Amino acid sequence: MQIDELDWIVVSMSKGNAERVRLPRIRSITPFPHCYGIKYQHVQLIHNSPSQNKDVEQTMEVRYMEPGNPYQMAVKQVQSVGRLLGLNEDTIEGLCKPRRELTVNFPVRMDDGRIRTFTGFRVQHNDARGPYKGGIRYHPKVNVDEVRALSMWMTWKCAVMGVPYGGAKGGVICNPKEMSKGELERMTRRFTSEIMLIIGPQKDIPAPDVYTDSQTMAWIMDTYSMSVGYPVPGVVTGKPLEIGGSKGRDEATSRGLMYVVQDAARLKKINLKKSTVAVQGFGNVGWHAARLLAEEAGCKIVALSDSSGGIFSKRGLDPYKVYEHKKKTGSVRNFKGSENITQEELLESDCTVLVPAALENVIGQDNAERITADIIAEGANGPTTPEADRIFYEKGTMVIPDILANAGGVTVSYFEWVQDLQFFFWSIEEIKQRLKDLMTRSFASVNGISNAQNVDLRTAAYLLALKAVLRASEARGLFP
Ligand code: NAD
């Protein structure tokens, strides 16, 4: 593994003051020749400093972590809960192995006339409970193990929510930031045609994920529809409203998160109107979460961050004003009336509710002890390591796991699909009410299992999910 293959690094400016830096901010990096393969190194790097708004050259200690294999982590999660359920190893293996994996290498004409070959994947993990469902990710580092893990997590998420889907995920290895809209459209259409065999409104329904959006879904829907000869809105979710998208999809993940935070607060007898919130990540999930928790749940937002760093204000931050500031300056930093803080300081800030809504693996053994929030609601997928989970369980911190806390997104995707299949569309009020009912029901079920079995909410959510998938498999029996 080389430094320039990583997504991010942790730069220690001085002892105890570490900052995660996304590589796109680093313009060039000159490691000392012997540095590859070890975890701490002094490297010389030139990066763009948002606070000084210029390139800064520094020699500093860089701690770079080899990212764990997400599929191995996903398998471990199933193995530990499977053993708790007394499942035999064959059954556990069956639950861990994706049913179908398609890898496609396909040509795309680029704007300069070159023909480049792209590699894409669609992994279908388990369809015992219904058609496969899961996003498509465009990223230079996407790989089949990552897609496998994400497809498994979709299976469990849908089972926890009781929505009748199995889990899938897709990805194309590409750098969308360096591609024109025309190139992205041609790549999307050709990829769709390559995976046409296994997707469809009754088979497998893709959705947006990292660096794909409603426009990408519109191209997939159109390509599929052109091939079969009639419009098929139900082949994807997360589409524009004009072609069968659902009201409320944009904020669905964060709205769902707010509902479970309200449930958790009631349980812990916390008055949200007197509570403070810190949100890591100010993208789709983080922005809507901050906005809804302030506006509808009455919380005071005290800390926010994006990839450039964080801000803190004891008196409270207005998410709308921060949004405008970020739109103007490109970052949340230097917002009037707030102090700039690091990502670590954000996570450890004095708050009632912490919402990690950016990256995976941000809360681990190193910082879990110092995190003082009463409730952690995982907007991101996989922000907390199993070691940190154990620490939180012992301290009494309530961690609402990702497969429940951020499941509002797939739930409203399900609503979109149902509306598409019926060609009958619901009002925003209906969407909100149905989402609230499902989130509240799932939170109550997971919490009930957690109390009955004396386990944390994550283990409880996995127990619920695995049992639901096994019951469906048993009911269907083994073919032939
Ligand atoms: P996004 O790309 O819209 O936003 C990501 C945000 O994280 C950006 O504000 C970015 O600046 C920030 N960020 C990046 N690096 C950071 C760092 N080092 N520290 C702090 N912030 C950093 O993505 P999103 O759709 O909001 O997704 C965020 C997370 O939520 C991902 O883990 C995603 O898988 C998960 N998720 C999203 C949805 C959804 O519906 N969008 C659903 C379920 C789960």
Residue whose CA lies nearest to ligand 1 atom number 31: 380
Average pLDDT, integer, range 231-240: 97
Catalytic residues, by residue number, are 169
Q: Is 380 in the pocket of ligand 1 (CB under 6 A)?
A: yes
Distance from Cα 360 to the centre of ligand 1, integer Å: 9
pLDDT one-digit tens code per residue, 132-151: 999 999 999 899 999 999 99
Q: Is the peptide bond before 480 cis (omega within 30 degrees of 0)?
A: yes
State the pLDDT at residue 77: 87
State the pLDDT at residue 385: 84
Q: What burial letters (b/e) apply to 168-180, b meaning 16+ CB within 10 Å? A: bbbbbbbebeebe
Pick the CATH number of 252-405 from 3.40.50.720, 3.40.47.10, 3.40.50.200, 3.40.50.11240: 3.40.50.720
- Band of pLDDT at residue 15, cut at 50, 70 and 90: very low
User: What CATH number should be reported for the domain whose range is 98-236?
Assistant: 3.40.50.10860
- Band of pLDDT at residue 307, cut at 50, 70 and 90: confident
Residue whose CA lies nearest to ligand 1 atom number 33: 380
Q: What burial letters (b/e) apply to 425-452, b meaning 16+ CB within 10 Å? A: bbeeeebbebbbebbeebbebbbebbee
Q: Is 384 in the pocket of ligand 1 (CB under 6 A)?
A: no
Q: Is 343 in the pocket of ligand 1 (CB under 6 A)?
A: yes
Q: Which residues pair with 41 in a beta bridge?
A: 62
Distance from Cα 244 to the centre of ligand 1, integer Å: 25
In the chain, CATH 3.40.50.720 sits at: 252-405
Distance from Cα 307 to the centre of ligand 1, integer Å: 10
Average pLDDT, integer, range 309-322: 97
CA distance 17 to 170: 37
Q: Is 410 in the pocket of ligand 1 (CB under 6 A)?
A: no
- Band of pLDDT at residue 61, cut at 50, 70 and 90: low
Q: Is 237 in the pocket of ligand 1 (CB under 6 A)?
A: no
φ, ψ at 17 (rounded to 5°):
-125, 80
Distance from Cα 209 to the centre of ligand 1, integer Å: 10
Residue whose CA lies nearest to ligand 1 atom number 36: 380
Residue whose CA lies nearest to ligand 1 atom number 17: 307
- Band of pLDDT at residue 37, cut at 50, 70 and 90: very low
State the pLDDT at residue 19: 53
Distance from Cα 380 to the centre of ligand 1, integer Å: 6
Residue whose CA lies nearest to ligand 1 atom number 16: 307
CA distance 36 to 115: 34
- This prediction has a pTM of 0.86
- pLDDT: is 441 or 59 the higher one? 441
Q: Is 358 in the pocket of ligand 1 (CB under 6 A)?
A: yes
In the chain, CATH 3.40.50.10860 sits at: 98-236
